[in-house]
Chain A
Amino acid sequence: MYQSISELVQAAVDLETSISEIILQQEIQNTARTREEIWAGMAKRLEVMKTSAEEGLRKPVRSLSGMLRGNAHQFNSWLSENKPRATNGILSRAVARALSVGEVNASMGCIVATPTAGAAGTLPAVLLSLQESCGLSDTALIQSLFTAAGVGSVIMLRATISGAAAGCQAETGSAAAMAAAAGVEALGGSPDQAAHAAAFALQNMLGLVCDPIGGLVEVPCVFRNAGSAAQSLVAIDLALAGIKNPVPADEIIDAMERIGRRMDERFKETAQGGIAATPTGRQLTKYFFPGTASADSEGL
């Protein structure tokens, strides 16, 4: 089992192959499953990603609480009107897809946890938007998902992907790093560039707290996925341009773990701090969960 991104890059360079291929071989060696079975499992996950990334664009999806009502659909409709806007192309399409997956998740729809349900919008948003704009094949996308899994597994070994353990940096931060490495590989970048992309993405998201209103995986989670998809796309281009982050990915993962450990409990999925504890956050909590302790300090 590879314990570091640097070992993964080295193995890929030594064997003149990709990070995804190293991870695929590791999976074959450690499970009783064939390459074809593992590939089919990943292909199935890509299909679920596509469905969840499209559903919210086609029709307004309402979250279980009603806090989110068809934002992905609204965003997508607005894009088609071609009004003046700040983002374009891949980035704006990624934002739409991230919102869609987040809303589908919050409405009890089917998603792939990448690496968690709360961060499930980031990876599909990045990869499917790259596919659309750069003409990537499904095969290339499925292959790149193994690189994403490799980065995710190193983060799980060295740190954590749990918001309850280390805040949102561990969820959407990890998702952005996974998507960045996968995106670089899918676009033909080197294993070393994939590692730098993961480093840039996670580095830009360090310190992010997990502060969901009412403890629901809705606000700010769904919008954070749009943000982390953007961070991931920025990281991909930084790396593909050949820019190297002075601090390697493994050290950034370790820093994330230390930051998470020192983070106050109020910022670790307890709905007691940050956005959840704002006057509006408390009002909404009280509205959705009358009588809960966390909502009592501010009246509606």
Chain B
Amino acid sequence: MTEKRFISVFEAIGPVMVGPSSSHTAGAVRLGLMGRALLGSTPQNALIRLHGSFAKTGRGHGTDRAIIAGLLGLGTADQRIRLSHTLAGDCGLAFSFEEIDLGADVHPNSAQFILSAGERQVTFTGSSLGGGRIEIIDLQGYPVSFNGEYCTLIIISADQPGTINTITGWLAEAHINIAFLKVERQKIGEEAIMIIETDQPVTRELSVKIASLPWVRWSRIVPKLGD
């Protein structure tokens, strides 16, 4: 039963967080922060569908306030989390919550997000795993798995030869080390998603260069999420 990993003093004394529960508040804030990053800006419209325990006890745990706080860019220890629904009006964010059943296989603390701001839109599903840790399990209809522990480059592109080479080449030139790389596609020759988690942050310059590639249909850089 004994684990061999190193445990930092700040795992036993910490994190500093807004209560009442790391999975229902800290994790929910981080899902909101992820949504904001995946959209690329503060959303103007947000539909959030709560699943499982998030749907049943989310209001009592302040999950609804925590999610909106994250979408507005507030951190997990921000005292304004409890006021987020009022702040949303000041920031031009219109939101609504619904309940949804995503199925028994999906973690009980999960939510589906449909966000938009002008022309931009994003749809994704994420789970709060406990201790504030999260996992994105679905993005724009693709099954995915990433958690915001790294800077994450996400590219949806035409499925053609040479795409991975181009991107990884540019990352190497910029001295950005790849921690994890995953590729999924829908059908041969149609569309594929590339998820690249990196040790160093991907620069804005490189992000613009990637977005301008003719075969890239959608791309985002999600910075490493804070605690």
Q: Which residues of A contact B (CB under 8 A)?
A: 1, 3, 23-24, 27, 30-31, 38, 41-42, 44-45, 48, 63-65, 104-118, 120, 123, 145-146, 148-153, 156-159, 161-162, 164, 178, 214-218, 257, 288-289, 292
- A110/B16 in contact, CB under 8 A: yes
Q: Which residue of chain B is the closest to A63 with respect to CB atoms?
A: B20
Complex alpha-carbon distance, A145 and B13, angstroms: 8
- The answer to whether B187 has its CB under 8 Å from any CB of chain A is no
Secondary structure dominating the interface of B:
mixed
B4: chain A residues at CB < 8 Å are: 1
- A42/B13 in contact, CB under 8 A: yes
Complex alpha-carbon distance, A63 and B8, angstroms: 31
Instruction: Provide 14 A-B residue pairs closer than 8 Å at the C-beta atoms, listed in order of the A residue.
Output: A1-B4, A38-B9, A108-B25, A110-B16, A112-B14, A112-B17, A145-B9, A148-B12, A148-B13, A150-B12, A151-B12, A215-B60, A217-B20, A289-B60
Known contacts A42-B9, A156-B7; A113/B15 CB under 8 A: yes
- The answer to whether B62 has its CB under 8 Å from any CB of chain A is yes
- The answer to whether B61 has its CB under 8 Å from any CB of chain A is yes
B2: chain A residues at CB < 8 Å are: 3, 157-158
- The answer to whether B5 has its CB under 8 Å from any CB of chain A is yes
- B57/A110 in contact, CB under 8 A: no
5 new A-B contacts, CB < 8 A, other than A113-B14, A288-B60, are A1-B7, A42-B13, A65-B60, A120-B19, A146-B9
- B9/A109 in contact, CB under 8 A: no
Q: Which residue of chain B is the closest to A3 with respect to CB atoms?
A: B2
A161: chain B residues at CB < 8 Å are: 12
B77: chain A residues at CB < 8 Å are: 110
Complex alpha-carbon distance, A205 and B2, angstroms: 22
- A111/B19 in contact, CB under 8 A: yes
Q: Which residue of chain B is the closest to A221 with respect to CB atoms?
A: B20
B11: chain A residues at CB < 8 Å are: 115, 152-153, 156
Shortest beta-carbon distance, A29 to chain B, in Å?
9
Most buried by A among B9, B65, B82: B9
Q: Which residue of chain A is the closest to B76 with respect to CB atoms?
A: A110
Residue-by-residue, is B52-71 near A (CB-CB < 8 Å gives 1, otherwise 0)?
Answer: 01001101111001000000
Q: Which residue of chain A is the closest to B56 with respect to CB atoms?
A: A292
- A157/B20 in contact, CB under 8 A: no
- The answer to whether B79 has its CB under 8 Å from any CB of chain A is yes
Complex alpha-carbon distance, A288 and B11, angstroms: 32
- The answer to whether B171 has its CB under 8 Å from any CB of chain A is no
Which of A1, A107, A153 is the one whose CB lies under 8 Å from B19? A107
